[in-house]
Copies of this chain bind each other. A is one copy, B any other.
Amino acid sequence: MQDAPFRNSPARPAGSAPRRGRPRSDRLQRAILDAARELLVSEGFAGLRLEHVAARAGVGKATIYRRWGSKEELSLAVLEELASPHIVIAETGNTRQELLAATMNAMRAVNDTPFGPVIAALLSQIAMNPLLGDPFRASVVQGRRDEVRRAIWRGIRRGDLRADADVDVATELLVGPVYFRLMFGGELTRDFAERVVDAVLRGYAAPDGGR
């Protein structure tokens, strides 16, 4: 994606040429990303117009194209910026709490932050279009999988979960239901998260201790 000379930056690659001419404005970078986020939320990806982004950011179209080569690249930038803060699962010593964090992280992001409408707007592109999907899967999704895997291992080590608890589908079972409801309807409440986690916990529980 970064083939063209100096895309997506004020922060150009480190050892780069001693840039001449007027440097790109950080303020504009922000204004563009903010405008793009708002319009993704209100219009969706199919209805996003770079001309409107430019107008709302008070910017010429060329200023956008200088940084991102397409609607897809710009949308990805918006998405990644919003996704990163909701990945980490804090180690608390309580297995149920940690698995609940996996589900609640996703749910809060989707429910209480602009990440929700933005990812809703981009679901189809992520599913169909490698330009968006591949980078998103490589960073955000893989990050979340890793966090969940670690939480499961910790649960096994503590003796709360069976030794053969199925790490490979744990993320799907804990987070899949949240996205299912995002798309297909249903409440996204703490109660829902707890029911999901309790079912998974029981499915993965150590045979003796139970929970």
In the complex, are the beta carbons of B195 and A203 less than 8 A apart? Answer: no
How far apart are the CA atoms of A180 and B180 in the complex, in Å? 8
Assembly stoichiometry (copies)? 4
In the complex, are the beta carbons of A196 and B172 less than 8 A apart? Answer: yes
How far apart are the CA atoms of A123 and B180 in the complex, in Å? 10
How far apart are the CA atoms of A199 and B203 in the complex, in Å? 5
In the complex, are the beta carbons of A196 and B169 less than 8 A apart? Answer: yes
In the complex, how many angstroms separate the beta carbon of A60 from the nearest chain B beta carbon? Answer: 9
Q: What are 21 pairs between A and B in contact, CB < 8 Å?
A: A44-B124, A44-B128, A46-B124, A120-B124, A123-B124, A124-B124, A126-B183, A133-B185, A141-B185, A169-B199, A172-B176, A172-B180, A172-B186, A173-B173, A175-B180, A176-B178, A176-B180, A179-B183, A180-B180, A199-B200, A201-B203
Judged by a CB distance under 8 angstroms, whether A125 is at the interface is yes
Q: Which residues of B contact A178 (CB under 8 A)?
A: 176
Q: Which residues of B contact A120 (CB under 8 A)?
A: 124, 127-128
**Interface centre among A125, A172, A196, A198, by most B CB within 10 Å?**
A172
Q: Which residues of B contact A155 (CB under 8 A)?
A: none
Question: Within residues 162 to 196 of chain A, which ones have a CB less than 8 A from any CB in chain B?
Answer: 166, 168-169, 171-173, 175-186, 192, 195-196
How far apart are the CA atoms of A180 and B186 in the complex, in Å? 16
A204 in complex: contacting residue of B117, B121, B199, CB < 8 Å: B199
Question: Within residues 118 to 137 of chain A, which ones have a CB less than 8 A from any CB in chain B?
Answer: 120-129, 133, 136-137
Judged by a CB distance under 8 angstroms, whether A30 is at the interface is no
How far apart are the CA atoms of A204 and B18 in the complex, in Å? 63
In the complex, how many angstroms separate the beta carbon of A161 from the nearest chain B beta carbon? Answer: 11
